[in-house]
Amino acid sequence: MSERSCLTVILAAGEGTRMKSALPKVLHEVAGLSLVGHVVKAARREPGVDVALVVGREAEKVRKAVEPFAPEAEAFVQSERLGTAHAVLAARQKIARGYDDVLILFGDTPLIEPQSLAELRAGLAEGADVVVMGFHAPDPTGYGRLLMKDGALVAIREHKDASETERAVTFCNGGLMAVAGRHALSLLDAVGNANAKGEYYLTDIVEIAAARGLSVRATEAPYESLLGINTRLELAEAEGVWQGRRRRALMLAGVTMHAPETVHLCHDTEIEPDAVIEPNVVFGPGVTVAAGARIRAFSHLEGAAVGENAEVGPFARLRPGATLGRKAKVGNFCEVKKAVIEEGAKVNHLTYIGDARIGAGANIGAGTITCNYDGFSKHHTEIGAGAFIGSNSSLVAPVSVGAGAYVASGSVVTKDVPDDALAFGRARQENKPDLGRRLREKLGGKGH
Ligand code: UD1
Ligand code: CA
Protein backbone atom coordinates (compact mmCIF):
# COMPACT_ATOMS: atom_id res chain seq x y z
CA MET A 1 0.00 0.00 0.00
CA SER A 2 1.27 3.44 -0.94
CA GLU A 3 2.21 5.93 1.77
CA ARG A 4 1.57 8.75 -0.65
CA SER A 5 -1.57 10.83 -0.27
CA CYS A 6 -3.94 10.74 -3.20
CA LEU A 7 -6.85 12.76 -4.50
CA THR A 8 -9.09 11.34 -7.19
CA VAL A 9 -10.96 13.94 -9.21
CA ILE A 10 -13.91 12.45 -11.07
CA LEU A 11 -15.34 14.55 -13.88
CA ALA A 12 -19.07 14.16 -14.20
CA ALA A 13 -20.26 17.54 -15.46
CA GLY A 14 -20.20 17.04 -19.21
CA GLU A 15 -23.42 17.51 -21.17
CA GLY A 16 -23.07 14.37 -23.22
CA THR A 17 -25.27 15.84 -25.95
CA ARG A 18 -24.58 12.90 -28.25
CA MET A 19 -26.52 10.66 -25.89
CA LYS A 20 -29.63 12.63 -26.93
CA SER A 21 -31.09 12.26 -23.48
CA ALA A 22 -32.86 14.25 -20.80
CA LEU A 23 -30.67 12.40 -18.30
CA PRO A 24 -27.11 13.61 -17.62
CA LYS A 25 -24.71 11.29 -19.41
CA VAL A 26 -22.98 9.92 -16.33
CA LEU A 27 -26.32 8.76 -14.90
CA HIS A 28 -26.91 6.36 -17.75
CA GLU A 29 -26.41 2.84 -16.50
CA VAL A 30 -24.29 -0.20 -17.16
CA ALA A 31 -25.46 -3.32 -15.34
CA GLY A 32 -27.98 -1.25 -13.41
CA LEU A 33 -25.39 1.11 -11.95
CA SER A 34 -24.72 4.66 -13.17
CA LEU A 35 -21.56 5.18 -15.23
CA VAL A 36 -20.19 7.49 -12.55
CA GLY A 37 -21.11 4.91 -9.88
CA HIS A 38 -18.81 2.40 -11.59
CA VAL A 39 -15.99 4.94 -11.72
CA VAL A 40 -16.35 5.86 -8.06
CA LYS A 41 -16.48 2.20 -7.04
CA ALA A 42 -13.23 1.55 -8.89
CA ALA A 43 -11.63 4.65 -7.39
CA ARG A 44 -12.56 3.63 -3.86
CA ARG A 45 -10.82 0.29 -4.24
CA GLU A 46 -7.52 2.12 -4.32
CA PRO A 47 -6.63 2.39 -0.64
CA GLY A 48 -6.64 5.74 1.13
CA VAL A 49 -7.87 8.02 -1.63
CA ASP A 50 -9.92 11.18 -1.21
CA VAL A 51 -12.60 11.71 -3.81
CA ALA A 52 -13.63 15.00 -5.43
CA LEU A 53 -16.61 14.87 -7.71
CA VAL A 54 -17.13 17.57 -10.33
CA VAL A 55 -20.80 17.92 -11.17
CA GLY A 56 -22.83 20.13 -13.47
CA ARG A 57 -26.46 19.81 -14.50
CA GLU A 58 -28.61 17.93 -11.98
CA ALA A 59 -25.73 18.09 -9.54
CA GLU A 60 -27.79 16.74 -6.67
CA LYS A 61 -28.88 13.64 -8.59
CA VAL A 62 -25.32 12.87 -9.59
CA ARG A 63 -24.11 13.34 -6.03
CA LYS A 64 -26.83 10.99 -4.78
CA ALA A 65 -25.82 8.32 -7.30
CA VAL A 66 -22.29 8.39 -5.93
CA GLU A 67 -23.11 8.60 -2.24
CA PRO A 68 -23.50 4.87 -1.49
CA PHE A 69 -19.99 4.18 -2.79
CA ALA A 70 -18.19 7.25 -1.44
CA PRO A 71 -20.23 9.01 1.23
CA GLU A 72 -17.30 11.27 2.05
CA ALA A 73 -16.79 12.45 -1.54
CA GLU A 74 -16.75 16.23 -1.82
CA ALA A 75 -18.77 17.66 -4.71
CA PHE A 76 -17.74 20.72 -6.73
CA VAL A 77 -19.96 22.40 -9.25
CA GLN A 78 -18.66 23.32 -12.67
CA SER A 79 -21.35 25.78 -13.66
CA GLU A 80 -20.21 26.25 -17.26
CA ARG A 81 -18.97 23.28 -19.29
CA LEU A 82 -15.79 24.77 -20.67
CA GLY A 83 -13.78 21.59 -21.01
CA THR A 84 -12.06 18.88 -19.03
CA ALA A 85 -9.21 21.07 -17.69
CA HIS A 86 -11.72 23.68 -16.58
CA ALA A 87 -13.71 20.89 -14.92
CA VAL A 88 -10.72 19.67 -12.91
CA LEU A 89 -10.12 23.24 -11.74
CA ALA A 90 -13.59 23.31 -10.19
CA ALA A 91 -11.95 21.24 -7.46
CA ARG A 92 -9.11 23.76 -7.12
CA GLN A 93 -9.59 24.22 -3.36
CA LYS A 94 -9.22 20.55 -2.74
CA ILE A 95 -6.26 20.08 -5.06
CA ALA A 96 -4.60 23.04 -3.31
CA ARG A 97 -4.63 21.12 -0.04
CA GLY A 98 -1.54 19.39 -1.33
CA TYR A 99 -1.69 15.75 -2.34
CA ASP A 100 1.26 13.69 -3.55
CA ASP A 101 -0.83 12.17 -6.33
CA VAL A 102 -3.78 13.63 -8.20
CA LEU A 103 -5.70 11.11 -10.30
CA ILE A 104 -8.16 12.39 -12.88
CA LEU A 105 -10.93 10.04 -13.94
CA PHE A 106 -13.77 10.59 -16.39
CA GLY A 107 -17.26 9.78 -15.18
CA ASP A 108 -18.10 8.31 -18.59
CA THR A 109 -15.45 5.58 -18.53
CA PRO A 110 -17.12 2.90 -16.44
CA LEU A 111 -14.94 -0.12 -17.16
CA ILE A 112 -11.68 1.07 -15.64
CA GLU A 113 -9.99 -1.47 -13.44
CA PRO A 114 -8.43 -0.77 -10.07
CA GLN A 115 -5.04 -2.07 -11.21
CA SER A 116 -4.89 0.74 -13.79
CA LEU A 117 -5.16 3.30 -11.00
CA ALA A 118 -2.43 1.54 -9.05
CA GLU A 119 -0.25 1.51 -12.16
CA LEU A 120 -0.65 5.25 -12.72
CA ARG A 121 0.27 5.95 -9.12
CA ALA A 122 3.27 3.66 -9.38
CA GLY A 123 4.45 5.85 -12.28
CA LEU A 124 4.31 8.94 -10.08
CA ALA A 125 6.04 7.12 -7.24
CA GLU A 126 8.87 6.29 -9.65
CA GLY A 127 9.33 9.97 -10.40
CA ALA A 128 7.11 10.79 -13.36
CA ASP A 129 5.18 14.07 -13.18
CA VAL A 130 2.37 13.16 -15.56
CA VAL A 131 1.25 9.62 -16.43
CA VAL A 132 -1.43 9.00 -19.05
CA MET A 133 -3.26 5.73 -19.55
CA GLY A 134 -3.51 4.93 -23.24
CA PHE A 135 -5.10 2.15 -25.23
CA HIS A 136 -5.19 0.92 -28.79
CA ALA A 137 -8.65 1.60 -30.22
CA PRO A 138 -10.00 -0.54 -33.05
CA ASP A 139 -11.69 2.66 -34.20
CA PRO A 140 -9.94 5.71 -32.73
CA THR A 141 -12.48 8.23 -34.05
CA GLY A 142 -13.36 10.77 -31.38
CA TYR A 143 -10.54 9.95 -29.00
CA GLY A 144 -7.49 12.08 -28.28
CA ARG A 145 -4.36 10.61 -29.94
CA LEU A 146 -1.20 10.03 -27.95
CA LEU A 147 1.71 11.47 -29.91
CA MET A 148 4.93 9.69 -29.04
CA LYS A 149 8.46 10.72 -29.93
CA ASP A 150 11.42 8.47 -29.20
CA GLY A 151 9.35 6.48 -26.75
CA ALA A 152 8.20 9.57 -24.82
CA LEU A 153 4.72 11.08 -24.80
CA VAL A 154 4.98 14.62 -26.18
CA ALA A 155 1.38 15.66 -26.77
CA ILE A 156 -2.23 14.55 -26.90
CA ARG A 157 -4.11 15.72 -29.96
CA GLU A 158 -7.90 15.77 -29.81
CA HIS A 159 -9.62 14.19 -32.79
CA LYS A 160 -11.12 17.47 -33.99
CA ASP A 161 -7.76 19.20 -33.92
CA ALA A 162 -5.72 16.36 -35.40
CA SER A 163 -4.12 16.34 -38.86
CA GLU A 164 -4.66 13.42 -41.23
CA THR A 165 -1.37 11.84 -40.14
CA GLU A 166 -2.24 12.29 -36.47
CA ARG A 167 -5.67 10.77 -37.03
CA ALA A 168 -4.00 7.64 -38.33
CA VAL A 169 -2.54 7.10 -34.85
CA THR A 170 -4.52 4.42 -32.99
CA PHE A 171 -2.84 4.86 -29.60
CA CYS A 172 -5.51 6.84 -27.75
CA ASN A 173 -6.04 8.72 -24.52
CA GLY A 174 -8.14 6.61 -22.19
CA GLY A 175 -9.01 9.63 -20.12
CA LEU A 176 -7.23 8.32 -17.07
CA MET A 177 -4.39 10.49 -15.91
CA ALA A 178 -2.15 10.96 -12.91
CA VAL A 179 -0.41 14.22 -12.12
CA ALA A 180 2.13 14.96 -9.40
CA GLY A 181 0.19 17.05 -6.90
CA ARG A 182 2.86 19.71 -6.68
CA HIS A 183 2.56 20.52 -10.40
CA ALA A 184 -1.15 19.95 -10.90
CA LEU A 185 -2.53 23.48 -10.46
CA SER A 186 0.21 25.25 -12.32
CA LEU A 187 -0.15 22.90 -15.29
CA LEU A 188 -3.93 23.22 -15.34
CA ASP A 189 -3.78 27.00 -15.06
CA ALA A 190 -1.55 27.15 -18.12
CA VAL A 191 -4.13 25.48 -20.38
CA GLY A 192 -5.76 27.74 -22.97
CA ASN A 193 -8.78 27.23 -25.21
CA ALA A 194 -7.46 27.95 -28.71
CA ASN A 195 -8.67 24.75 -30.35
CA ALA A 196 -11.43 23.35 -32.54
CA LYS A 197 -13.93 23.15 -29.69
CA GLY A 198 -12.90 26.35 -27.88
CA GLU A 199 -12.56 24.27 -24.72
CA TYR A 200 -9.93 24.03 -22.02
CA TYR A 201 -8.53 20.57 -22.71
CA LEU A 202 -7.06 18.60 -19.86
CA THR A 203 -5.01 16.80 -22.47
CA ASP A 204 -2.99 19.97 -23.14
CA ILE A 205 -1.15 19.57 -19.85
CA VAL A 206 0.96 16.90 -21.53
CA GLU A 207 2.49 19.33 -24.02
CA ILE A 208 2.85 22.00 -21.34
CA ALA A 209 4.59 19.61 -18.95
CA ALA A 210 6.90 18.36 -21.72
CA ALA A 211 7.83 21.94 -22.62
CA ARG A 212 8.71 22.56 -18.98
CA GLY A 213 11.04 19.61 -19.02
CA LEU A 214 8.87 17.58 -16.66
CA SER A 215 8.74 13.84 -17.02
CA VAL A 216 5.68 12.65 -18.96
CA ARG A 217 4.82 9.03 -19.55
CA ALA A 218 2.19 6.93 -21.26
CA THR A 219 1.25 3.50 -20.12
CA GLU A 220 -1.26 1.13 -21.64
CA ALA A 221 -4.39 -0.76 -20.67
CA PRO A 222 -6.69 -2.94 -22.77
CA TYR A 223 -9.30 -1.17 -24.90
CA GLU A 224 -12.14 -2.84 -22.98
CA SER A 225 -11.21 -1.15 -19.75
CA LEU A 226 -10.97 2.36 -21.17
CA LEU A 227 -13.98 2.46 -23.40
CA GLY A 228 -15.54 5.94 -23.05
CA ILE A 229 -19.25 6.52 -23.47
CA ASN A 230 -20.40 9.34 -25.71
CA THR A 231 -23.28 7.64 -27.54
CA ARG A 232 -25.86 4.92 -26.87
CA LEU A 233 -23.87 2.63 -29.16
CA GLU A 234 -20.88 2.89 -26.85
CA LEU A 235 -23.19 2.46 -23.87
CA ALA A 236 -24.38 -0.86 -25.30
CA GLU A 237 -20.80 -1.86 -26.08
CA ALA A 238 -19.75 -1.14 -22.49
CA GLU A 239 -22.70 -3.14 -21.19
CA GLY A 240 -21.57 -6.08 -23.31
CA VAL A 241 -18.01 -5.88 -22.04
CA TRP A 242 -19.14 -5.60 -18.43
CA GLN A 243 -21.54 -8.54 -18.76
CA GLY A 244 -18.87 -10.67 -20.40
CA ARG A 245 -16.39 -9.96 -17.64
CA ARG A 246 -18.81 -10.69 -14.83
CA ARG A 247 -20.17 -13.88 -16.39
CA ARG A 248 -16.65 -15.14 -16.90
CA ALA A 249 -15.78 -14.38 -13.27
CA LEU A 250 -18.89 -16.19 -12.01
CA MET A 251 -18.31 -19.25 -14.18
CA LEU A 252 -14.69 -19.46 -13.08
CA ALA A 253 -15.96 -19.24 -9.50
CA GLY A 254 -18.15 -22.32 -10.02
CA VAL A 255 -21.47 -21.14 -11.46
CA THR A 256 -22.88 -23.06 -14.45
CA MET A 257 -24.45 -21.07 -17.27
CA HIS A 258 -25.86 -22.96 -20.22
CA ALA A 259 -25.91 -19.95 -22.54
CA PRO A 260 -23.93 -17.27 -20.75
CA GLU A 261 -24.40 -14.69 -23.49
CA THR A 262 -28.16 -14.68 -22.74
CA VAL A 263 -27.83 -14.13 -18.99
CA HIS A 264 -28.11 -10.51 -17.92
CA LEU A 265 -26.44 -9.69 -14.62
CA CYS A 266 -26.63 -6.65 -12.41
CA HIS A 267 -23.66 -4.86 -10.84
CA ASP A 268 -24.43 -6.44 -7.46
CA THR A 269 -25.67 -9.91 -8.47
CA GLU A 270 -24.18 -12.57 -6.25
CA ILE A 271 -24.31 -16.23 -7.23
CA GLU A 272 -22.70 -19.02 -5.25
CA PRO A 273 -20.86 -22.00 -6.69
CA ASP A 274 -22.86 -24.90 -8.09
CA ALA A 275 -25.82 -22.73 -8.90
CA VAL A 276 -27.13 -23.33 -12.41
CA ILE A 277 -28.41 -20.48 -14.54
CA GLU A 278 -30.36 -21.57 -17.59
CA PRO A 279 -30.68 -19.43 -20.73
CA ASN A 280 -32.41 -16.04 -20.87
CA VAL A 281 -32.41 -15.10 -17.22
CA VAL A 282 -32.41 -11.43 -16.17
CA PHE A 283 -31.06 -10.28 -12.83
CA GLY A 284 -32.12 -6.84 -11.63
CA PRO A 285 -30.51 -5.18 -8.60
CA GLY A 286 -30.11 -6.86 -5.23
CA VAL A 287 -30.23 -10.57 -6.06
CA THR A 288 -28.38 -13.35 -4.28
CA VAL A 289 -28.49 -16.98 -5.38
CA ALA A 290 -27.20 -19.61 -2.97
CA ALA A 291 -25.23 -22.73 -3.76
CA GLY A 292 -26.92 -25.42 -5.79
CA ALA A 293 -29.95 -23.33 -6.70
CA ARG A 294 -31.28 -23.52 -10.22
CA ILE A 295 -32.71 -20.54 -12.07
CA ARG A 296 -34.56 -21.92 -15.02
CA ALA A 297 -35.03 -20.29 -18.38
CA PHE A 298 -36.75 -16.94 -18.92
CA SER A 299 -36.95 -15.91 -15.28
CA HIS A 300 -36.69 -12.32 -14.05
CA LEU A 301 -35.36 -11.60 -10.56
CA GLU A 302 -34.82 -8.39 -8.60
CA GLY A 303 -34.29 -7.73 -4.89
CA ALA A 304 -34.61 -11.45 -4.21
CA ALA A 305 -32.70 -14.04 -2.20
CA VAL A 306 -32.79 -17.60 -3.52
CA GLY A 307 -31.82 -20.27 -0.97
CA GLU A 308 -29.64 -23.33 -1.34
CA ASN A 309 -30.90 -25.86 -3.86
CA ALA A 310 -34.04 -23.85 -4.46
CA GLU A 311 -35.57 -23.77 -7.92
CA VAL A 312 -37.02 -20.83 -9.79
CA GLY A 313 -38.83 -20.84 -13.14
CA PRO A 314 -39.01 -21.39 -16.00
CA PHE A 315 -40.84 -18.09 -16.59
CA ALA A 316 -40.91 -16.97 -12.96
CA ARG A 317 -40.75 -13.45 -11.64
CA LEU A 318 -39.22 -12.68 -8.26
CA ARG A 319 -39.73 -9.09 -7.15
CA PRO A 320 -38.14 -7.18 -4.27
CA GLY A 321 -38.41 -8.92 -0.93
CA ALA A 322 -38.88 -12.41 -2.35
CA THR A 323 -36.92 -14.77 -0.11
CA LEU A 324 -36.77 -18.45 -0.93
CA GLY A 325 -35.58 -20.95 1.66
CA ARG A 326 -33.64 -24.15 1.00
CA LYS A 327 -35.22 -26.34 -1.64
CA ALA A 328 -38.18 -24.01 -2.08
CA LYS A 329 -39.73 -23.98 -5.55
CA VAL A 330 -41.33 -21.19 -7.52
CA GLY A 331 -42.43 -22.45 -10.90
CA ASN A 332 -43.75 -21.22 -14.20
CA PHE A 333 -45.81 -18.05 -14.46
CA CYS A 334 -45.56 -17.30 -10.75
CA GLU A 335 -44.86 -13.88 -9.29
CA VAL A 336 -43.53 -13.48 -5.76
CA LYS A 337 -43.13 -10.11 -4.03
CA LYS A 338 -42.11 -9.30 -0.43
CA ALA A 339 -42.74 -12.83 0.69
CA VAL A 340 -40.82 -15.58 2.40
CA ILE A 341 -41.20 -19.04 0.90
CA GLU A 342 -39.78 -21.29 3.56
CA GLU A 343 -37.78 -24.47 3.17
CA GLY A 344 -39.25 -26.95 0.74
CA ALA A 345 -42.46 -25.00 0.13
CA LYS A 346 -43.81 -25.14 -3.43
CA VAL A 347 -45.45 -22.43 -5.49
CA ASN A 348 -45.39 -24.14 -8.80
CA HIS A 349 -47.89 -22.75 -11.27
CA LEU A 350 -49.65 -19.52 -12.26
CA THR A 351 -49.66 -17.89 -8.86
CA TYR A 352 -49.23 -14.49 -7.23
CA ILE A 353 -47.76 -14.42 -3.73
CA GLY A 354 -47.30 -10.92 -2.29
CA ASP A 355 -46.80 -9.74 1.31
CA ALA A 356 -46.83 -13.24 2.69
CA ARG A 357 -45.03 -15.98 4.53
CA ILE A 358 -45.43 -19.51 3.21
CA GLY A 359 -44.42 -22.02 5.89
CA ALA A 360 -41.98 -24.85 5.32
CA GLY A 361 -43.25 -27.64 3.12
CA ALA A 362 -46.54 -25.91 2.27
CA ASN A 363 -48.00 -26.52 -1.18
CA ILE A 364 -49.66 -23.70 -3.05
CA GLY A 365 -51.94 -24.94 -5.82
CA ALA A 366 -52.07 -23.60 -9.34
CA GLY A 367 -53.70 -20.23 -9.77
CA THR A 368 -53.62 -19.21 -6.11
CA ILE A 369 -53.69 -15.46 -5.52
CA THR A 370 -52.91 -13.55 -2.36
CA CYS A 371 -55.26 -10.57 -2.54
CA ASN A 372 -52.89 -8.25 -0.73
CA TYR A 373 -54.09 -4.84 -1.87
CA ASP A 374 -57.39 -3.09 -1.21
CA GLY A 375 -56.58 -0.05 -3.28
CA PHE A 376 -55.10 1.78 -0.29
CA SER A 377 -52.92 -0.51 1.80
CA LYS A 378 -51.08 -3.81 1.52
CA HIS A 379 -52.04 -6.66 3.86
CA HIS A 380 -50.26 -9.78 4.97
CA THR A 381 -51.08 -13.44 4.33
CA GLU A 382 -49.66 -16.07 6.64
CA ILE A 383 -49.62 -19.72 5.64
CA GLY A 384 -48.47 -22.30 8.16
CA ALA A 385 -46.00 -25.11 7.64
CA GLY A 386 -47.31 -28.03 5.64
CA ALA A 387 -50.56 -26.27 4.65
CA PHE A 388 -52.17 -27.19 1.34
CA ILE A 389 -53.88 -24.50 -0.70
CA GLY A 390 -56.15 -25.95 -3.38
CA SER A 391 -55.92 -24.62 -6.91
CA ASN A 392 -57.52 -21.36 -7.90
CA SER A 393 -57.97 -20.05 -4.37
CA SER A 394 -58.02 -16.39 -3.43
CA LEU A 395 -56.57 -15.55 -0.04
CA VAL A 396 -58.01 -12.18 0.97
CA ALA A 397 -55.46 -10.52 3.25
CA PRO A 398 -55.08 -9.96 6.09
CA VAL A 399 -55.67 -13.64 6.60
CA SER A 400 -53.91 -16.72 7.92
CA VAL A 401 -54.08 -20.40 7.14
CA GLY A 402 -52.83 -22.58 9.99
CA ALA A 403 -50.14 -25.23 9.87
CA GLY A 404 -51.31 -28.45 8.27
CA ALA A 405 -54.62 -26.91 7.16
CA TYR A 406 -56.29 -27.51 3.80
CA VAL A 407 -58.07 -24.98 1.66
CA ALA A 408 -60.44 -26.48 -0.89
CA SER A 409 -59.88 -25.60 -4.53
CA GLY A 410 -61.61 -22.49 -5.74
CA SER A 411 -62.04 -21.03 -2.28
CA VAL A 412 -62.16 -17.36 -1.47
CA VAL A 413 -60.64 -17.33 2.00
CA THR A 414 -61.65 -14.27 4.02
CA LYS A 415 -61.46 -15.74 7.55
CA ASP A 416 -58.47 -17.25 9.32
CA VAL A 417 -58.22 -21.03 9.01
CA PRO A 418 -57.11 -22.84 12.20
CA ASP A 419 -54.28 -25.39 12.20
CA ASP A 420 -55.23 -28.73 10.64
CA ALA A 421 -58.72 -27.51 9.57
CA LEU A 422 -60.25 -27.90 6.12
CA ALA A 423 -61.73 -24.69 4.75
CA PHE A 424 -64.36 -24.54 2.04
CA GLY A 425 -64.85 -21.03 0.79
CA ARG A 426 -66.91 -21.70 -2.28
CA ALA A 427 -70.52 -22.33 -3.29
CA ARG A 428 -71.65 -25.92 -2.78
CA GLN A 429 -72.08 -27.82 -6.04
CA GLU A 430 -75.53 -29.04 -7.04
CA ASN A 431 -76.21 -31.50 -9.87
CA LYS A 432 -79.65 -31.24 -11.58
CA PRO A 433 -80.40 -34.50 -13.40
CA ASP A 434 -81.20 -34.19 -17.10
CA LEU A 435 -81.13 -30.40 -17.01
CA GLY A 436 -78.12 -30.24 -19.30
CA ARG A 437 -79.86 -32.07 -22.11
CA ARG A 438 -82.99 -29.95 -21.78
CA LEU A 439 -81.02 -26.77 -21.90
CA ARG A 440 -79.18 -27.90 -24.99
CA GLU A 441 -82.45 -28.68 -26.75
CA LYS A 442 -83.92 -25.35 -25.81
CA LEU A 443 -80.90 -23.39 -26.95
CA GLY A 444 -79.93 -25.31 -30.07
CA GLY A 445 -82.89 -27.37 -31.15
CA LYS A 446 -83.12 -31.19 -31.30
CA GLY A 447 -80.13 -33.21 -32.35
CA HIS A 448 -77.52 -30.56 -31.45
C1 UD1 B 1 -11.95 12.98 -23.64
C2 UD1 B 1 -10.49 13.37 -23.89
C3 UD1 B 1 -9.93 12.50 -24.98
C4 UD1 B 1 -10.03 11.05 -24.59
C5 UD1 B 1 -11.48 10.68 -24.22
C6 UD1 B 1 -11.50 9.32 -23.56
C7 UD1 B 1 -10.20 15.75 -23.38
C8 UD1 B 1 -10.12 17.13 -23.94
N9 UD1 B 1 -10.44 14.76 -24.25
O10 UD1 B 1 -12.69 13.27 -24.82
O11 UD1 B 1 -8.55 12.81 -25.19
O12 UD1 B 1 -9.58 10.22 -25.65
O13 UD1 B 1 -12.03 11.61 -23.29
O14 UD1 B 1 -12.79 8.84 -23.30
O15 UD1 B 1 -10.03 15.60 -22.18
N16 UD1 B 1 -16.59 16.84 -18.50
C17 UD1 B 1 -16.86 17.74 -17.51
N18 UD1 B 1 -16.87 19.06 -17.82
C19 UD1 B 1 -16.60 19.53 -19.06
C20 UD1 B 1 -16.34 18.59 -20.08
C21 UD1 B 1 -16.31 17.24 -19.76
O22 UD1 B 1 -17.10 17.37 -16.36
O23 UD1 B 1 -16.61 20.76 -19.24
C24 UD1 B 1 -16.58 15.40 -18.16
C25 UD1 B 1 -17.66 14.59 -18.89
O26 UD1 B 1 -18.81 14.42 -18.06
C27 UD1 B 1 -16.98 13.25 -19.12
C28 UD1 B 1 -15.51 13.57 -19.14
O29 UD1 B 1 -15.35 14.85 -18.56
O30 UD1 B 1 -17.26 12.38 -18.06
C31 UD1 B 1 -14.94 13.55 -20.55
O32 UD1 B 1 -15.62 14.52 -21.34
P33 UD1 B 1 -16.08 14.21 -22.82
O34 UD1 B 1 -16.76 15.43 -23.32
O35 UD1 B 1 -16.80 12.95 -22.89
O36 UD1 B 1 -14.65 14.09 -23.55
P37 UD1 B 1 -14.29 13.30 -24.89
O38 UD1 B 1 -14.64 14.14 -26.05
O39 UD1 B 1 -14.82 11.93 -24.83
CA1 CA C 1 -16.11 10.81 -23.38
Residue 306 host element (H or E): strand 305-306
Q: What angle do CA 216, 146, 132 make, to 5 degrees?
A: 45
376-390 pLDDT per residue, tens: 999 999 999 999 999
299 and 324 in a single domain? The answer is yes
Work out which ligand 1 atom sits closest to the CA atom of 174: 6
203 and 128 in a single domain? The answer is yes
Residues of 190-218 as b/e, b for ≥16 C-beta within 10 angstroms? ebeeebeeebbbbbbbbbbbbeeebbbbb
For a pocket test of ligand 1, which of 84, 166, 200 has the largest count of ligand atoms closer than 8 A to its C-beta? Answer: 84
Work out which ligand 1 atom sits closest to the CA atom of 175: 6
Ligand 2 centroid, distance to 318 Cα (angstroms): 36
- How is 269-280 classified by DSSP, letter by letter? -EE-TT-EE-SS
Residue 361, domain CATH: 2.160.10.10
* Euclidean distance between CA atoms 312 and 333, whole angstroms: 10
Residues lining ligand 1, Cβ inside 6 A: 11-14, 25-26, 54, 78, 81-84, 86-87, 106-109, 143-144, 156, 158, 172-175, 201-203, 228, 230
Per-residue confidence (pLDDT) for residue 259, from 0 to 100: 98
CA distances from 265 to 34, 303, 406 (A): 15, 13, 39
276 and 165 in a single domain? The answer is no
The last residue of one of the domains, among 226, 246, 264, is 226
Q: Which domain does 359 fall in, by range?
A: 232-423
Ligand 1 centroid, distance to 84 Cα (angstroms): 6
Let me know: does 358 contact 375? Beta carbons within 8 Å: no
Instruction: For ligand 1, atom 13, name the residue with the nearest CA.
Output: 175
Work out which ligand 1 atom sits closest to the CA atom of 14: 26
Per-residue confidence (pLDDT) for residue 2, from 0 to 100: 63
Q: Which residues of the chain have a pLDDT value below 70?
A: 1-2, 446-448
147 and 273 in a single domain? The answer is no
Let me know: does 156 contact 206? Beta carbons within 8 Å: yes
321-332 pLDDT per residue, tens: 999 999 999 999
183, 349, 379, 380: which one is catalytic?
A: 349
In-domain check, residue 279: yes
Work out which ligand 1 atom sits closest to the CA atom of 87: 18
283 and 207 in a single domain? The answer is no
* Euclidean distance between CA atoms 327 and 417, whole angstroms: 26
Annotation says 349 is catalytic: yes
Per-residue confidence (pLDDT) for residue 16, from 0 to 100: 85
Per-residue confidence (pLDDT) for residue 206, from 0 to 100: 98
Per-residue confidence (pLDDT) for residue 14, from 0 to 100: 83
274 and 210 in a single domain? The answer is no
In-domain check, residue 239: yes
Per-residue confidence (pLDDT) for residue 151, from 0 to 100: 85
The last residue of one of the domains, among 204, 226, 248, is 226
Ligand 2 centroid, distance to 25 Cα (angstroms): 9
Per-residue confidence (pLDDT) for residue 432, from 0 to 100: 97
Number of domains in the chain: 2
Residues, CB within 5 angstroms of ligand 2 (ion): 108, 228, 230
